[in-house]
Structure 1
Amino acid sequence: MQAQLSSFGRHLAAEKRHSPRTCEHYQRDLLRLAGWLVSAGTECWADLNGHQVRRYVAALSRDGLSGRSIARHLSSMRRFYQFLLREGWARDNPAIGIRAPRSGRRLPRVADVDQISHLLDARADDLLDIRDLAMFELMYSSGLRLSELVGLDVSALDLEAGNVRVLGKGSKERLLPVGRKAMAALQRWLACRRGLAPDTEPALFLSQRGDRLSPRSIQSRLARWGIQQGADQRLHPHMLRHSFASHLLESSGDLRAVQELLGHADIATTQVYTHLDFQHLARVYDQSHPRARRRMAGKTGAGSERRSDQ
């Protein structure tokens, strides 16, 4: 079984040109399936059938995986069996037609504008804080993924034009604007960076050792920054990206523009932010409209019922 998995990994990397991270996700999903098959007494990929796939889906659900995560596992299986069929190592694709259980759509968590302002208006005096503030300003200014931020080189920045060139998912490149405050924070960091990095190091954001900063380090630094600034929730890099998208859509209403800036291939992925925007509008409506304001429970005895137009 391992030989076929290894061949599939090479196929994804060499023929499909997927990123190492994507290949790792496929391998992890399929290794979990392989372990389940061995425990069930099956040691050949070709012996897997639709009934067993349904049992496996049920096992994943019992283990607490969401419908979305199970759907990803099924997608990995279908893709793997397409490869096995092509190579003559399987007779059919047992995952075809099998769906994951539905789960409620989980909306991304965002920070409001005041929270973001409080976070980014904090003083940065030492070298690491100056670097961190530049990172966080850029993530919120341009909606970067964590992997995109980590992969940035100094050459990707054009300070005169006020933009940054980013390599996103599927090795797709996009040019993004950088806001005024992010530009100022980046200029301050670049002035400090010169004394930290060797001439041969291209990375924009560096560790104390002078090499490229790791994703885990950025995650821990942002969480630490949030604690220092008294944030009321744990901060993580994707929250800055979500907040960027939600705030931009709230102000502009331009879903297509937000899609392009985020680098989403499918606009359906971006549409989750319309739900966040509606939640904000609904709160404003409830608080502001004279016939939508909720009654005070102690005065009317009607709880929090809305007024009716009788």
Structure 2
Amino acid sequence: MADFARHLASEKRHSPRTCESYQRDLFRLATWLVEQNNTEWRAVTGYDLRRYVANLSREGLSGRSIARHLSAIRRFYQYLLRERRAIDNPALDIRAPKSRRRLPGVADVDQLNYLLDASTDDPLEVRDQCMFELMYSSGLRLAELASLNIDAIDCRGGEARVVGKGSKTRLIPVGRKALEALSRWLPVRASMVPEAQTALFVSRRGDRLSHRSIQARLSRWGIVKGADQKLHPHMLRHSFASHMLESSGDLRAVQELLGHADIATTQIYTHLDFQHLARVYDQSHPRARRRHSPGQDGQNSEQEGNT
């Protein structure tokens, strides 16, 4: 497993977080196999892995999480075959159980405007407002926001250089409101950090802000400012994508902005947009609205005929 982790990092150039995820999933499998008195990777069979998948399902893992586990196992056995430490890949024909695909939560446009327009003089809240403006302005992932360095932001050009999944770099536009928030945060940041610090967002001590800290600060922001739902970083990204698609209808552009390798991932936002359209249709179209009385039916029919 340690050799495989080095292979992922050095040969495949995977990010440290991806390597950690593979190791964590494989360690969970290894622990279960030892409990079943199976201590040889080459002795693992497809039957063993089906039992393992059933065990993960009983423990409450979603189909998507189990699929991620199986992907790690398949990749691991490809490596073992290459190194001649296994004679086959027992995970090839194993499939995760299907789970219902949940649509991401999206915040209301007016509420987001109210939350992000709140004025503050507190240095940490100035930082927080800048972070959340950037996430909503540019659809950043949590990891992308946390890893931003100060030299990645071009305030004059209104763009940012972001390192996304698979260490892929993309340029994204930064909106006017986010640029204004940056102009307030950068002087505050300069008073908090040593010159050698490259992180754009830092703690009170001058260290790069962690993922957990960003999550906690966004949740706190929502509570303090009176949000009617719990805020989390992915909600801001989902809201960015849904609002962009609703306004532009350009799925390819939204795909590029989000940094999705496959447009099928972006298409989930078309379902969100369709839900909105369906509600408008149900409320507005004369042939979709429910009739409340026979008299109303006749009146509406006459109006429709005149129209």
Q: Quick check: 1:152 aligned with 2:143?
A: no
What secondary structure is seen at the aligned counterpart in 1 of 2:73? Answer: helix
TM-score where L is the length of structure 2: 0.94
* Residue among 246, 255, 263 paired with 1:259: 255
Partner residue in 2 for 1:119: 115
Which of 44, 47, 59 does residue 51 from structure 1 map onto? 47
Q: Which residue of 1 aligns with 2:81?
A: 85
Q: Which ranges in structure 1 are unaligned for 5 or more consecutive residues?
A: 301-306
Q: Who is 1:38 aligned against? A: 34
Letter in 2 for 1:177: P
The reply to whether residue 62 of structure 1 matches residue 58 of structure 2 is yes
- Return the alpha-carbon distance in structure 1 between the equivalents of residues 3 and 189 of structure 2: 42
Q: Could you tell me how far apart the structure 2 residues matched to 1:142 and 1:265 are? A: 17
Return the alpha-carbon distance in structure 2 between the equivalents of residues 295 and 182 of structure 1: 47
Could you tell me how far 1:202 is from its partner in structure 2?
1.0
Map 1:113-262 to 2 at 5 A.
113-262=109-258
SS in 1 for 2:161: strand
Deviations 1:148-179 (A, max 9, x none): 11111111111111111111111111111111
CA deviations 1:85-144 (Å, max 9, x no partner) are 111111100001111111111111111111211210112211001000000001000000
SS for the counterpart of 1:224 is helix
State percent identity of aligned pairs.
Answer: 71
Q: Tell me: CA distance 1:295–1:41, structure 2 relative to 1, closer, same or farther (3 Å).
A: farther
Partner Cα separation in structure 2 for residue 241 and residue 155 of structure 1:
22
Which of 268, 272, 275 is the matching residue for 1:272? Answer: 268
User: Which residue in the other structure is 1:304 paired with?
Assistant: none
The one-letter amino acid of 2:50's match is R
Shift of 1:295: 4.9
For residue 101 of structure 1, give the secondary structure of its aligned residue in structure 2: coil
Q: Secondary structure at the match of 1:164?
A: strand
- Across the aligned residues of Structure 1 and Structure 2, the Cα RMSD in angstroms comes to 1.4
Q: How far is the alpha carbon of 1:294 from its aligned partner? A: 3.6
The total of aligned residue pairs comes to 296
CA–CA distance in structure 2, aligned partners of residues 70 and 26 of structure 1:
13
User: Partner of 1:303 in structure 2?
Assistant: none
- Please report how far the alpha carbon of residue 191 of structure 1 lies from its aligned counterpart in structure 2 after TM superposition: 1.8
Residue 293 of structure 1: how far off its partner (Å) = 2.0
- AA of the residue aligned to 2:172: L
Q: Shift in Å at residue 67 of structure 1?
A: 0.9
CA distance in 1 between counterparts of 2:215 and 2:117 reads 19
User: 2:17 is matched with which residue?
Assistant: 21
Separation of aligned partners in 1, 2:231 and 2:277: 24
The residue aligned with 2:283 is 287
Q: Distance in 2 between matches of 1:71 and 1:192?
A: 44
Shift of 1:281: 0.8
3-state SS of 1:175 partner: strand
Match of 2:105? 109
TM-score under structure 1 length normalisation: 0.93
